[in-house]
Amino acid sequence: MTLEPPPGGFRGPVKRSITIAGHQTSISLEPVFWQALEAQAAARALPLSALVAAIDHARITKDDSPNLASAIRTWLFVERP
């Protein structure tokens, strides 16, 4: 089997700083995840930092929570109503 690389090629994580609850944090995500996260924030008419804060809040309320970047990636692939 032969697979073609995605348009633009394979790209590694990009680190961004975001303020959550008044605290600066850095998150490393691949560009495709940043694009999907920005689209979800726009669809909800939220600033990106507000959506990340909501995902973070949901993450920390669970036992054995993953790191924030993993929680974001997982959240983006969960089917929502």
> Would 5 be classed as within a structural domain?
no
Task: Please state at what angle helix 48-60 crosses helix 31-43, rounded to 10 degrees.
Answer: 100
Contact 56, 26 (CB under 8 A): no
Helix, strand or coil for residue 37?
A: helix
Residue 65 lies in a domain: yes
pLDDT tens track, the chain, 81 positions: 999 988 888 889 999 999 998 999 999 999 999 999 999 999 999 999 999 999 999 998 888 888 999 999 999 998 665
Is 60 inside any structural domain? Answer: yes
- Is residue 7 in a domain? no
Task: Determine the Cα–Cα distance for residues 28 and 58; give it in Å rounded to an integer.
Answer: 19
Tally the domains of the chain. Answer: 1
> Residue 42 belongs to what domain range?
14-79
Nearest-angstrom CA–CA distance, 9 and 59 = 31
